[in-house]
């Protein structure tokens, strides 16, 4: 009975190998430009192109995550008085500005990395030094002279040493000539 079971396992393995060979041949001949990338990754479905007779080692489990521009510090957090500001109706020529007040609500200094704005906004100022626990600072933006007319919603993108490391502030306005 044991010999019969061994034969069944062999047949099952051969069938699996045949299916993999057929699949590999079909994906290689499908004409997809992404199926034979230099890194061996099949972009169509995200599986590696591995020859059937290759033994694949297990994936490493100690791969570190991509580093953020400012390393996260345990105990650091921030809170904005008004993370979503609405200027209401403004005239474009006035180049209206808004100050986003931020408080370090954590137990270690708060640091900012990249601070970028959407087109139509200009970054006026931002904290260049770490903000001590319990202290408040501000990020000031203004409308660019060429901001589009009408109802707008712009985003300020922040990188910091908080978790999560990326944060968004929004500024809404109705811009008229």
pTM of the model: 0.58
Look at the block and give the residue holding tokens 């589009």. Answer: 148
pLDDT for residue 75: 72
List the chain domain ranges: 1-58, 78-176
pLDDT for residue 28: 63
pLDDT for residue 37: 46
pLDDT for residue 67: 45
Provide the terminal-to-terminal Cα distance of the chain, rounded to the nearest Å: 89
Measure the CA–CA gap between 113 and 124, rounded to whole angstroms.
16
For 4-68, the DSSP string reads HHHHHHHHHHHHHHHHHHHHHHHHHTS--GGGG-TT-B-TTT--B---TTPPPPPPPS-PPPPPP
Of 159, 175, 54, 64, nearest to 111 by C-alpha is 159
How is residue 132 written in tokens? Answer: 């001590």
pLDDT for residue 84: 97
Measure the CA–CA gap between 49 and 47, rounded to whole angstroms.
7
For 68-115, the DSSP string reads PSS---TT--EEES-SEEEEEEEEGGG--EEEEEEEE-SSS-B-EEEE
| pLDDT per residue rounded down to tens, the chain (177 residues) | 678 888 888 888 788 787 877 777 766 655 444 444 444 444 444 445 555 555 555 554 554 444 445 555 567 999 999 999 999 999 999 989 999 999 999 999 999 999 999 999 999 999 999 999 999 999 999 999 999 999 999 999 999 999 889 999 999 999 999
CATH T-level assignment (fold) for domain 78-176: Immunoglobulin-like (2.60.40)
Measure the CA–CA gap between 104 and 130, rounded to whole angstroms.
10
pLDDT for residue 118: 96
């Amino acid at each position: 009975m044991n010999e019969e079971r061994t034969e069944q396992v062999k047949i099952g393995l051969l069938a699996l190998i045949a299916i993999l060979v057929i699949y590999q041949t079909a994906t290689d001949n499908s004409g997809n430009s992404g199926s034979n990338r230099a890194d061996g990754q099949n972009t169509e479905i995200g599986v590696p192109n591995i020859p059937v007779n290759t033994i694949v080692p297990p994936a490493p489990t100690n791969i570190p995550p991509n580093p953020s521009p400012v390393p996260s510090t345990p105990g650091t957090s921030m809170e904005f008085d008004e993370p979503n500001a609405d200027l209401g109706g403004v005239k474009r020529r006035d180049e209206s500005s808004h100050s986003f007040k931020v408080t370090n609500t954590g137990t270690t200094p708060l640091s900012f990395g990249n601070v970028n704005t959407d087109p139509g906004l200009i970054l006026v100022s931002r904290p260049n030094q770490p903000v001590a626990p319990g202290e408040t600072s501000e990020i000031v933006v203004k409308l660019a002279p060429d901001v589009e007319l009408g109802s707008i919603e712009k985003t300020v993108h922040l990188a910091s040493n908080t978790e999560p490391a990326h944060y968004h502030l929004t500024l809404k306005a109705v811009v008229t000539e």
